[in-house]
Amino acid sequence: MDEQKEDKNIETELEKAKVQAQEYLDNWKRERADFINYKKDEVKRLSEFAKFANERVVLEVIELVDDLEKASKEIGNPGLDQVVKKFEEFLKKHNIERISTEGAFDPNLHEAIESSPTSEVGAPTEASGEAVEGESGDKTEEVRAGYTMHGKVIRPARVKIIK
């Protein structure tokens, strides 16, 4: 009888050990999967960080491009036009694109600074120099160019809303 009892104890102990071993294996697999997911998330986060690490420098370059465009319009120098084109090519090469202001007002891309019933110069305005509430669908006129970097708005286009 002792032998049967001892065999049952051994079988019970063996079953407990098997259950515990399976539990440890499942926990290890879960932790391994969590670690792999963490590594993927970290690579993605670092990639996003690297993508936008130069945003501040890009914004300064964009300010220079704005100044060059103004000077080019005032002076009308073909050499200056070429420099502006080279800057635009440089920006495009680095996934920095100018936001289109043609068409309807888009609050995700545009910053309304003025509102006018017409687009004529010197036309009466509702506000000047202050943020204005625009509605989607209103026509716009560019005051300052806006830009996106890798699809993210880094500087909204300042526009005049034309009702």
Asked whether residue 83 carries a pLDDT value surpassing 50, the answer given is yes
Among 60, 116, 64, 111, CA closest to 86: 64
Domains of the chain, earliest start first: 99-163 (2.30.22.10)
Q: How far is CA 103 from CA 141, 158, 159, in A?
A: 9, 14, 11
CB atoms within 10 A of CB 1: 5
SS3 call for 142: strand
Q: Identify the pLDDT of residue 137.
A: 54
Q: What is the mean pLDDT of residues 65-83?
A: 92
Report which of residues 128 and 103 the model is more confident about.
103
- Give me the sheet containing 157-162, strands edge to edge: 110-116, 157-162, 139-144
Predicted confidence (pLDDT) per residue in 9-63, tens digit = 999 999 999 999 999 999 999 999 999 999 999 999 999 898 889 999 999 999 9
CA distance 38 to 136: 40
Q: Identify the pLDDT of residue 136.
A: 55
CA distance 57 to 88: 15
Q: What is the mean pLDDT of residues 144-156?
A: 95
Residue 118 structure tokens: 């017409």
151: left (phi over 0), alpha (psi -120 to 50) or beta: left
pLDDT band at 134 (very low <50, low <70, confident <90, very high): low
Task: Report the range of poorest mean pLDDT among 3-17, 57-71, 120-134, 146-160.
Answer: 120-134
Residue 132 structure tokens: 């204005």
Those residues whose C-beta lies under 8 Å from the C-beta of residue 18, and which sit 6 or more positions away, are: none
Strand partners, 140: 161
What does the H/E/C string look like for 16-77? HHHHHHHHHHHHHHHHHHHHHHHHHHHHHHHHHHHHHCCHHHHHHHHHHHHHHHHHHHHHCC
